[in-house]
Structure 1
Amino acid sequence: MAMHPRGIPQDKQFAGTLARGLELLLCFKPDEPLLGNKEFVARTGLDKATVSRLTYTLVQLGYLRHDTRLGKYRLGAPVLSMAYPLLASMNLRQIARPLMNELADEVRGTVSVGIRDRAEMVLMDTCRSEDGDAPLIDIGASMPLLATAIGHAWLARAEPKERAVALNQIKVRYPQQFAEHAQRLPQALRDFASRGYSTNPGYYRRDRLAVAVPVATAVNSEIVVFNCTVPASQAPAREVRQRVGLRLVTLVRSVEVALGLR
């Protein structure tokens, strides 16, 4: 299938206008809740007239709200309503939460579970230790696929064809991310194959160590990955990786059994 320079399939069945509207909604980030047409143009590559029509339509439908004082847009409530059925349908979250809380307290860190969204892993649940200074990471936070343990674990679990598609999308849409991190992926995949878990420095804080383990079987057609971050200074890095990695493997296997995947 032919691809647009931005990575959009060129196909008679593909609804390009719908795709462009969704691209605008996906431009927002937790630290950038307000965006204007100028930012949309820069981030999507769409022309000003197209962006203006799309923002007008999305405002009328409620997916965007216009701040007239600032001349910018923020996401509207229907976007949240769209996400809720996905979260509610994943009983994995209810099964895993007690185990995630227990591990977070045990290692004085954060335990999260995420799925892939284009070039990132987005968290659908997270538990944080009350003891210590673990960073507060909320549901919906995202991390780059190529630069994190949780992303490497997803890539390791994915079938070769699915992995190749994801990497090609990143190369086309996010060339800088690809150039900075792709060369480390072969070693990360070898490490996962030998250990059963992926490791990397923490994404939000470099003084932490992240360990990630994917669920062996797709859940609701998604590759689901559990991630645990702990202070890197607890002990020598190799010891921390092994201890937390094996503990996280045990958690994931328990979840698989409870879901009937084993």
Structure 2
Amino acid sequence: MGRRSERLSRVGMLPGDLAGEGEVIQVVSRAFDVLRCFEGHDSRLGNLEISNRCGLPRSTVSRLTHTLTRMGQLVYLPRDQKYRIGPSAVAMSTSMTRGLQLRNLIRQRLQDVAEQLPGTVGFVIPDQFHLVYLEFGRAANALGLHETTGSRISMASTAAGHAYVAALEPEMGDALLTEMERELPDAAKLLRPRLEHNRQFLKEHGYVVACGLWSPHINGVALPIWSPQYQTYVVLTIGLLSAMYDEQRLHDEVAQPMRELGRSIAALLQGAEADVFNSRVERKPLQVNAKTNQKNKTITGTGDTNELAAGARGTGPARGLRAGDGRA
């Protein structure tokens, strides 16, 4: 089957690769494969466990962990004979996080919606075959998902993941799915049958719905937004109890507040290098109408929906799956 770091140079996961302009430096890719094995700050792994997780020979892993330890990216624990994330990796991630001043504004807007809808509203970014919560909003009486900042969710079994893949240029989405079929065939089986429908629905309505994929008790709505900062799509998503919000109710009562949230977040992201970083953007609470529209149960494209879809899909050049790095 081959290791991921070796295959990347063949399948063309970067925009330049698709044009025959790029080559993946395998030792760098393998080093990041090793670091990704550590799910949390307290995670402790030995060379054998790392080897099993990332599919690299133990001898290669040994050399990589030695180098990463010398660099401060890992710390060796003699008593356990294992490694954990080191101070340099923590410092680097903390420094990057501190620089994202618009996150406070994003969190406020997520919370505005969370106060009206009893679920968890998330702002997630892609990482390989998962997405990671960068921010979230949740009311005190929230039901359903209880993800927090840093939580990882599956791309194949969540509304957020389905929205992300549907937003990619078709050749990029197909390449990601092919890679997923090699690495996680069972997960890919959840995504492939829905991909074309998701693409069309996203184009027409600006969002994607997934019901009962991650859990039979959870239904979700998600919409992708192009991020100039990350040079990839980020996703807004909400998870709600299926017993309270069936698919029709998601369309009737949840989709519009999420579209309004999407427009608000998109405006922040588009202006992030200007006024947002100077904290000159005024917070305007979103008006959420949670009443069901009894007169019109059908879903039709609107001017607002098309505007959002255009903002999500039509900005910038063709994007790669790991745009900057934005690795899917």
TM over 0.5: yes
Please say if 1:218 is aligned against 2:227: yes
Shift of residue 180 of structure 1? 4.4
Structure 2 counterpart of 1:42: 52
**Gap change, CA 1:199 and 1:180, over 3 Å in 2:** closer
Contact 1:143 1:203 survives alignment (8 Å): no
How far apart in 2 are the matches of 1:119 and 1:5?
15
> More helix per residue: 1 or 2?
1
**Gap change, CA 1:260 and 1:59, over 3 Å in 2:** closer
Structure 1 counterpart of 2:89: 79
Specify which of 187, 193, 201 is matched with residue 191 of structure 1. 201
How far apart in 2 are the matches of 1:13 and 1:258?
34
How far apart in 2 are the matches of 1:62 and 1:27?
16
Deviates more, 1:248-257 or 1:198-207: 198-207
Structure 2 counterpart of 1:159: 169
Equivalences for residues 42-121 of structure 1 within 5 A: 42-121=52-131
How far apart in 2 are the matches of 1:54 and 1:232?
45
**Gap change, CA 1:62 and 1:158, over 3 Å in 2:** same
**Gap change, CA 1:104 and 1:91, over 3 Å in 2:** same
> C-alpha offsets along residues 227-255 of structure 1, whole Å, 9 cap, x if unaligned?
11122222443113431111100111122
Question: Which amino acid in the other structure matches residue 26 of structure 1?
Answer: R
Q: Give TM-score scaled by structure 2 length.
A: 0.70
How far apart in 2 are the matches of 1:140 and 1:41?
24
Q: Give TM-score scaled by structure 1 length.
A: 0.85
Question: Which amino acid in the other structure matches residue 134 of structure 2?
Answer: M
Shift of residue 113 of structure 1? 0.6
Shift of residue 31 of structure 1? 10
How far apart in 1 are the matches of 2:97 and 2:56?
31
Question: Which amino acid in the other structure matches residue 70 of structure 1?
Answer: D
Contact 2:166 2:195 survives alignment (8 Å): no
Shift of residue 56 of structure 1? 1.7
How far apart in 2 are the matches of 1:182 and 1:28?
28
Unmatched runs of 5 consecutive residues or more in structure 2: 11-16, 272-310, 312-328
Shift of residue 208 of structure 1? 2.2
**RMSD, aligned α-carbons:** 2.8
Percent identical among aligned pairs is 26
